[in-house]
Amino acid sequence: MVKVLLGFMGVGKTTIAGYLGAPFLDMDRMIEDRLGMPIVDYFASHGEAAFREIESDVLAELLASEEDVFISTGGGVVIRDENRQLLRQNRRNNILLKASFETLYDRIKKDKASERPLFLNNSKEAFREIFERRMALYEDLADIIIFVDNRTPEEIARIIKCV
Ligand code: S3P
């Protein structure tokens, strides 16, 4: 069974997955291995549309797995209709991690290890609009919603293991 961690950039999907004590696959790392370069560089050289094609391929491959595995997704995985259809078929296994926009904005700003092209290329207000549009899409797909503000990754992982 594949369990999917969904949520906006900076919410901690990959960090939390690391505390689950269970096999997990990180979509962004898999995509970067395939691209042979950081996502931010691929966005700059090939554009977002090319990135989204590869993201959809990787999602489809992962969701077809028969194994018991957690998938930590990239925050933009919900923007394509074909991805949402695949995620909808994964019902009861979509876990949404949710935090306030300001918390996420601050975290992303400080995160120099993982640069997000959409953060770098948008004003704060435009980024907030992306957040709001995306939240509606995540919530439509989510079977379980966990609020991460004021919780440690260990606590969140413990909650996930109970559901
Ligand atoms: C993106 C989120 C990133 C990464 C890429 C695009 C997005 O993943 O896939 O920069 O559109 O929200 P994280 O959610 O892990 O930051």
Query: Does the beta carbon of 118 sit less than 6 angstroms from any atom of ligand 1?
Result: yes
Q: Which of 13, 28, 30, 80 has the most ligand 1 atoms within 8 A of CB, as the residue to mutate?
A: 28
The residue whose CA has the least distance to atom 16 of ligand 1 is: 9
Q: Is the dihedral of CA 79, 82, 88, 90 positive or negative?
A: negative
pLDDT tens digit string along 128-151? 999 999 999 999 999 999 999 999
Q: How much is the pLDDT for 143?
A: 96
Q: Does residue 26 line the site of ligand 1, with CB under 6 A?
A: no
Residue with the smallest CA separation from ligand 1 atom 10 is: 116
State the residue for tokens 């909650």: 159
Q: Report the C-alpha gap between 73 and 75 in whole angstroms.
A: 6
Rounded to an integer, what distance in angstroms lies between the CA atom of residue 8 and that of residue 109? 14
The answer to whether the predicted template modeling score (pTM) of the entire model surpasses 0.75 is yes
